[in-house]
């Protein structure tokens, strides 16, 4: 046990046995909260006691943490968010910042909030409501257990194990137990379940606490989960399901508690993986309890789509929901209205709508190599990221060939010139009437196309896309095309408008991708892809500032070649089923040859870069008729998709389908700080996807 309390412990005098576990005799029904460092045996103990089937988290620096909804469901295991000197926010002992401290982080105990005594007639005594058991095995015992479980399952908190880190974790929990005891909270400790509970005793403490020596006046039937649920909810109508390895058939309405572990929902023979969306780098208290649904078979074949269910959302799962059927590629054996899924604060309410089609639920057991690169198990945000994504990011780092920052002058100039030479010979970009690269990219037939909107210097968003849903593998295997709709430069975030280094880096990365994947990665010209003094945001002349920064870093020769690049980039990408550009269609009809020659008509070229959807009759806006004329000029079908960037319709969201009530007209924006959106285009099928924000650039720069 922790060195701070191992000499202050005495056995609890009175004991009772519940499901084979010795507990203090005075411990009442639903008082028990079990905590301790990773690998201390919390889950095993709760399972043995038939307690609540998922872990919780409380931030002990927050006022009224004792009222947190997490603590309604007891007995259960709980992770503690604790205050440490040098950190403004609470951390767990497996948060990345805590682990990377390099020495034992010092607990700042005066920031731990203690419940009031509640001595008034109508006041709750929160200190008596809970009894905390701290499981504190020896560091050597924990290390042996965590090493052994690495061979059976994947717990990312077990990455890079060493005895010193575990010793610090145990000491932190021991110090916390002692502080809570001194603050008159009800606390006892135990080494393992094979050992008796021990109470903390300090000088001057004469009488043991009541819960250690006397049974309560009325003993409730301990730890019956069904009765616990009924007493909490006051109803019997919802069946709570604990997912197990063996599938359970669902009928009516069932509820699954959120525990951050993946599930398998079988829809009449089709497996759908339901995975918690835990972004890399997110702290536990900031995690939104969203879920991701994935077609298990599609994820094994290549690039795949998925569905997100955010907190508070309801999803109709079935072929009758077009978005759902398309994203999950639902076969006919799935009902049109199979079931509803409700995300209620992370808990999933599953309501079977068609009992003629079987629905089962089970726990998803797999190794770390099997994890998809969308969802991650609950711990993976702390120490690392799943193997597939890490490999993808390493591949990006390898093709970049340098640390993830702007390239040195000479390699940057060489890269730029190689990209220009490649564009000049691009077989997918027909020449204009002058023999120069034309304005249109003719996308290769039969490939899935990934479309990325305006990035505006959000390097993390580009890395997120590249490392997700097997996109980099698809580029390597030549099964997908990647189209970026321009405006990768110039941050639009307050405080970053004048910072051009992220713009330089993102273009260096895009050039590296274009060179590595010729005829697979395409960058369309956007209105911000210019040094024009008129390119500004909130009075900041971003075009001028980018030119100035590039000149400082790389000289006039590089500036001249960047201008040459701008003159060779395409304006429009097209396939047989869709077209995409940065701004919008030109304001008059054009033949295909005229579109390829777009640079010869500067006014029309400018419209493709800067026009916006007509919502108020403003000049420079486009209409449904303009879209029809562009489709005709490009030779795409009447109802084909036209995808544009440039004009997000609100300050929230990443995509707008059928924008302006124009069928097949969609707007995409990928520059949000809370994560990017993309479109997957497979033939005539278009699927929108959104990803959470992740600080992947920091991770990339930490890779060996």
How do residues 495-552 score in pLDDT, each as one tens digit? 888 899 999 999 999 999 999 999 999 999 999 999 999 888 888 899 999 999 999 9
Task: Give the orientation angle of helix 409-424 with respect to helix 501-516, to 10 degrees.
Answer: 50
**Cβ(524)–Cβ(482) below 8 Å:** no
pLDDT at 679 over 90: yes
Kindly give the pairing relationship between strand 291-295 and strand 270-276.
antiparallel
pLDDT of 399 above 50: yes
Summarize the confidence of residues 389-414 as an average pLDDT. 91
Helices and strands counted in the chain (H then E): 21, 33
Pick the closest to residue 130 from 170, 196, 203, 183 (CA basis). Answer: 183
Cβ contact 383:96 at 8 Å: yes
* Average pLDDT value for the chain: 87
Distance in angstroms (rounded) separating the CA atoms of residues 564 and 534: 19
Q: Which of 622, 620, 626, 668 is nearest to 643 (CA)?
A: 668
Contact status, residue 275 vs residue 348, Cβ threshold 8 Å: no
176 DSSP 8-state letter: H
Q: In what order do the strands lie in the sheet with 521-523?
A: 521-523, 480-484, 448-452, 677-682, 685-690
Query: Percentage helix, strand, coil, to 5, in the chain?
Result: 30, 20, 50
Sheet holding 187-190, edge to edge: 9-11, 198-200, 187-190, 131-135, 32-35, 76-81, 56-59
Instruction: Tell me which fold the domain 385-702 belongs to.
Output: Purple Acid Phosphatase; chain A, domain 2 (3.60.21)
Which tens digit of pLDDT belongs to each residue from 6-16?
A: 778 999 999 99
Ranges of each domain in the chain: 9-222, 237-382, 385-702
Burial (Cβ within 10 Å: 0-12, 13-18, ≥19) of residue 389: buried
Q: What is the mean pLDDT of residues 367-375?
A: 45
Does 249 have pLDDT greater than 50? Answer: yes
What is residue 154's predicted lDDT score, i.e. its pLDDT? 44
Q: How far apart are CA 685 and CA 679, in angstroms?
A: 10
pLDDT of residue 118: 66
> b vs e for 476-514, b when ≥16 Cβ sit within 10 Å of the residue's Cβ?
beebbbbbbbbbbbbbbeeebbeebebbbbbbbbbbbbb
**According to the model, what pLDDT value does residue 617 have?**
64
Using CA atoms, how far residue 106 sits from 5, 93, 109, 472, in Å, is 16, 12, 9, 42
pLDDT band at 115 (very low <50, low <70, confident <90, very high): very high
Q: Is the peptide bond before 192 cis (omega within 30 degrees of 0)?
A: no
Q: What pLDDT, on the 0 to 100 scale, is given for residue 286? A: 63
- The whole-angstrom separation of Cα 317 and Cα 363 is 19
pLDDT of residue 125: 79
pTM for the full model?
0.77
């Amino acid at each position: 046990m922790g060195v701070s309390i191992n000499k202050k412990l005495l056995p609890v005098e009175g004991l009772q046995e519940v499901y084979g576990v010795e507990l203090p005799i005075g411990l009442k029904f639903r008082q028990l909260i079990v905590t301790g460092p990773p690998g201390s045996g919390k889950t095993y103990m709760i399972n043995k006691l038939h307690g609540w089937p998922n872990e919780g988290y409380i931030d002990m620096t927050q006022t009224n943490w004792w009222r947190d909804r997490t603590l309604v469901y007891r007995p259960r295991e709980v992770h503690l968010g604790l205050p440490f000197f040098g950190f403004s926010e609470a951390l767990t002992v497996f948060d990345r910042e805590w682990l990377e401290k390099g020495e034992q982080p010092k607990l700042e105990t005066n920031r731990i909030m203690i419940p009031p005594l509640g001595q008034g007639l109508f006041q709750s005594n929160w200190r008596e409501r809970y009894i905390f058991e701290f499981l504190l095995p020896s560091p050597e015992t924990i290390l042996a257990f965590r090493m052994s479980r690495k061979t059976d399952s994947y717990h990312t908190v077990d990455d890079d194990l060493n005895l010193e880190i575990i010793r610090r974790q145990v000491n932190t929990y021991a110090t916390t137990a002692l502080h809570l005891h001194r603050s008159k909270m009800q606390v006892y400790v135990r080494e393992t379940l094979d050992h008796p509970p021990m109470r903390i005793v300090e000088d001057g403490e004469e009488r043991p606490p009541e819960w250690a020596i006397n049974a309560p006046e009325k003993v409730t039937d301990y730890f019956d989960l069904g009765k616990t649920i009924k007493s909490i909810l006051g109803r019997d109508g919802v069946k709570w399901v604990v997912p197990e390895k063996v599938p359970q058939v669902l009928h009516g309405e069932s509820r699954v508690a959120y525990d951050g572990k993946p599930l398998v929902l079988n829809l009449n023979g089709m497996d759908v993986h339901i995975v918690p969306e835990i972004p890399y780098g997110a702290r536990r208290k900031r995690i939104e309890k969203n879920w991701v649904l994935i077609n298990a078979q599609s994820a094994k074949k290549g690039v795949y789509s998925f569905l997100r269910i955010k907190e508070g959302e309801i999803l109709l799962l079935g072929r009758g929901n077009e978005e759902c059927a398309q994203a999950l590629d639902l076969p006919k054996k799935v009902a049109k209205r199979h079931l509803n899924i409700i995300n209620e604060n992370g808990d999933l309410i599953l309501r079977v709508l068609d009992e003629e089609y079987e629905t089962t639920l089970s726990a998803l057991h797999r190794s770390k190599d099997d994890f998809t690169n969308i969802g991650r198990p609950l711990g993976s945000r702390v120490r690392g990221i799943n193997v597939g994504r890490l490999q993808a990011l390493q591949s990006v780092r390898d093709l970049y060939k340098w640390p993830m920052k702007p390239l040195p002058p000479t390699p940057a100039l060489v890269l730029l010139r190689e990209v220009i030479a490649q564009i000049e010979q691009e077989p997918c970009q027909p020449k204009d009437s002058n023999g120069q690269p034309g304005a249109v990219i003719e996308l290769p037939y039969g490939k899935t196309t990934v479309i990325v909107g305006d990035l505006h210097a959000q390097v993390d968003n580009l890395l997120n896309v590249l490392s997700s849903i097997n996109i980099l593998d698809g580029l390597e295997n030549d099964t997908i095309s990647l189209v970026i709709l321009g405006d990768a430069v110039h941050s639009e975030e307050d405080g970053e408008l004048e910072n051009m280094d992220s713009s330089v880096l993102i273009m260096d990365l895009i050039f590296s991708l274009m060179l590595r994947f010729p005829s697979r990665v395409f960058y369309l010209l956007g209105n911000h892809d210019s040094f024009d003094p008129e390119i500004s945001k909130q009075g900041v002349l971003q075009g001028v500032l980018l030119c100035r920064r590039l000149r400082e870093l790389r000289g006039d020769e590089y500036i001249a070649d960047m201008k040459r690049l701008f003159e060779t980039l395409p304006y429009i990408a097209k396939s047989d089923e869709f077209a995409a550009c940065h701004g919008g269609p030109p304001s008059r009809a054009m033949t295909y040859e005229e579109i390829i020659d777009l640079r010869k008509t500067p006014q029309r070229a400018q419209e493709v870069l800067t026009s916006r959807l007509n919502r108020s009759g403003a000049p420079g806006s486009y209409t449904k008729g303009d879209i029809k004329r562009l489709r005709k000029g490009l030779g795409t079908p009447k109802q084909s998709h036209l995808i544009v960037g440039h004009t997000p319709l609100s300050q929230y969201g990443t995509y707008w389908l059928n924008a302006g009530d124009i069928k097949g007209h969609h707007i995409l924006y990928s520059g949000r700080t809370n994560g990017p959106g993309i479109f997957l285009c497979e033939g005539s099928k278009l699927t929108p996807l959104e990803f959470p924000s992740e600080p992947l650039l920091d991770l990339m720069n930490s890779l060996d």
